[in-house]
Each structure stands twice: as structure tokens, then as C-alpha cells.
Amino acid sequence: MIQALDKSFIPVLQEKIDNLNKPKGSLGRIESLALQIGLIQHTLTPKLCHPCHILFGGDHGIEREGVSVSPREVTWQQMINFGRGGGGVNMFCRQHGFKLHVVDVGVDYDFDHEKCPHIIDRKIAHGTRNFLHEPAMTQEEYERALTVGAEMVDKCHAEGCNIISFGEMGIANTSPSSIWMHLFLGIPLDKCVGAGAGLNDEGIRHKYEVLSSSLLTFRNSLTEHDSSLFTLHSSFPLSYFGGYEMVAAIGGMLRAAEHGMVVIVDGFIMTACMLAASRIDKNVMDYAVFGHCGDESGHKMMLDGMGAQPLLSLGLRLGEGTGAICAYPILQSAVNMINEMDNFQHAEITKYF
């Protein structure tokens, strides 16, 4: 169970931040970040330790319907590429000192683990089923994916990690993300569906039609009992539409919050996962820092619907968790500010407010 943050500690933290030798509020978002991290760690001297990034890989049955310009094999090819250090996520992890874990939860490929020792094998199946016709995964598979995510976070936490981010590799995973956005925020589906890896206007229309048909099948499958269950719990729409890599990320986010870790949220897909996680336990949002607003259509609308304020807006849409890692130095600056800036009294500067 995720503990709600102790809001009674806010005045103490805010007083320290306001008495640093700067005009009150002049460091803007950096100040509110310092407050959030201090609340998460319940200390006036927060620190960020051993940052880790977990990238989950999985394929999607809905890819067979032509909802992405990228072919399915790109998933496994990129998973191998990450081991060579050649991905965008590798570069940013090296730059910012993150330890990268690459996890196969459901890639439609059999890796040679002697040649690919960097890929952690937690495969549940060779991709999900096609949710145009049936649920993407069973309840048992859904629970296994949550467990994989939690176990990976436990491993990072045991190594001293207190700040973590998640990424994904899974062709067509903007499709379930769009559906979750539609179901959980009530935003019209056409506003949730975008270009993904690069669909043209005709491709976006086709994607919308496929997802509309999928939703119709989903709703027709709900009995009166299921409908009431859906309003209370999220497991059915998550297992019906989700990818193994996405559900693993949800499990990881929830477990990270249980451990009191800061969770940096990446782009459209990982924001959808945090949205889903918040429907399981609303307190998870207290531990989330949203790294950026990406270039995928609907991402800003989803962030706004969640009341989330992203740190960066760089037009990113690569995925892999790259935007979250790019945002990390801003969090480090927030921690440095509260720990290293002098205050008015000690610096013998007149406090003028």
C-alpha cells in the first residue's frame, strides 16, 4: 500500500525554501520540485541516489491491424541494440549516470541470452493477443506482468536507488495508451489518437477506426456486473488493452511509490501507465514527476487531465524513457538548491519580504 505524503511537513519545508537567499519563488518550478522531493523523503535535506532506468519490452497483437508504420521486428531489433549501447536511451543514461535495465516481458522473439546477456528474461508470452477481437491478456498474465515490474524495482531499491524512471519498447503501444486515456479521462477518442511512430493522416484515420471497433467489442463484452466493476477497478481495461511492457511499468511505478522513491514519468505511453496506476492507487501521483510533454497528439491533453505539470517541452516522441532521463538534471538542481544555497540570516543579507 502506498503511503500518502505527510502534508503537515509542508510548512517546515516551505520555510526553508523561502529563506534561501533569493527572492521568494524566484526559482519557480525548481522550488516546487524541492518541496515535493523533500516531502517524499520527509527530510529538509533530500538527496538523489543511484538513479535507475528500467526499460520493458513487449509486442502487441493490435500491431497486426496496421496501426503503426514500424514493423513488429523493430521491437526485438532495438532490444538487441540497447545491449550494444547504441540507443537513445543508452546515450542519455550514460550522460546522466543512470543504471539501465532492459527487460523482456513479452517480445515476439527468442533472444539468444549468451549473445544478449543484457536482456533480462521475464517473458510472459510472445506478444499480447489482438484486442480488436479479444482481451490482450488473461488476468493471470496481467498479474504476472505487475509482479515483474515490482520485482525489478525491488532489485533497484535494494541497490540503493531512490529515484527511478521507466521506458518501453513495443511497436503499436500508443494504441492501448490512447484507449486508456479515453476510458479513464473521458476524452473523445479522436483527440487521443495520434501519429505514433509517424503515421500520415490516412494512417491516423485507420488507427482511429481500428481502436473505435476495438472499444465497441470491449463494451459489448461487458455484462452489467462487469460494468460496475469497471467503474471501481482498473484491472479489466488494463488487461484487455494493455501490453506486457506497459503493465510491468505500472507494477514498477506502484512498487516504487511503496518504497518512497521518486518516479520520473516519460512521454505519452508512460504517462498513460501512470494514469492507469493512479486508478489502482491514487497516492502514486504524489511520487510522480512528469519529465516532459512530448510531441504525440494527445499527450498535453492527458497531462492536463491529470493535473500534471511537465518539466520540459522539447518535441520529443522517441519513447524508451528518454524524456524522463533528460529531465533528471532539473531534479538534481532542486535538491542542490535546498541543500547548498545559503539563507538570508547566515549570509548576512537583508531579507526584504
The model scores a pTM over 0.85: yes
Phi first, then psi: give them for residue 101, nearest 5 degrees: -120, 125
pLDDT at 235: 77
Q: How many alpha carbons lie under 13 Å from residue 8 in its C-beta half-sphere? A: 0
**All 3 cell numbers of residue 122?**
521475464
Cβ atoms of residues 79 and 169 within 8 Å = yes
Sorted by sequence, the CB contacts under 8 Å of residue 70 that are 6+ apart come out as: 171, 172, 196, 197, 198
Residues of the chain falling short of pLDDT 50: 225, 232
**All 3 cell numbers of residue 279?**
486508478
From the list 238, 253, 282, the residue with the least C-alpha distance to 153 is 253
pLDDT at 137: 96
Question: Max CA-CA distance within the chain?
Answer: 70
Cβ atoms of residues 276 and 189 within 8 Å = no
Q: What domains are there in the chain, each with its CATH number?
A: 52-328 (3.40.50.10210)
Q: Out of 63, 320, 340, 348, pick the active-site residue.
A: 320
Cβ atoms of residues 57 and 106 within 8 Å = yes
Cβ atoms of residues 271 and 324 within 8 Å = no
From the list 206, 203, 185, 183, the residue with the least C-alpha distance to 195 is 203
- What number of other Cβ atoms are within 10 A of residue 28's Cβ? 8
Question: What is the DSSP code string of 304-330?
Answer: HHHT---SB-------TTHHHHHHHHH
Cβ atoms of residues 105 and 148 within 8 Å = yes
pLDDT at 206: 96
Sorted by sequence, the CB contacts under 8 Å of residue 15 that are 6+ apart come out as: none
Interhelix angle 174-185/268-280, rounded to 10 degrees, is: 40
What is the rounded CA–CA span in Å between residue 249 and residue 194? 22
What is the rounded CA–CA span in Å between residue 290 and residue 270? 10
Interior angle at CA 153, CA 318 and CA 229, nearest 5 = 85
- Helical (H) or strand (E) element with 190: helix 189-192
pLDDT at 232: 43
pLDDT at 293: 96
Q: How far is the CA of 41 from the CAs of 98, 257, 287, in angstroms?
A: 20, 11, 10
Respond yes or no: is residue 151 known to be catalytic: no
The answer to whether the Cα torsion of 278, 254, 257, 119 is positive or negative is negative
E strands in 158-270 = 163-169, 262-265
Cβ atoms of residues 137 and 145 within 8 Å = yes
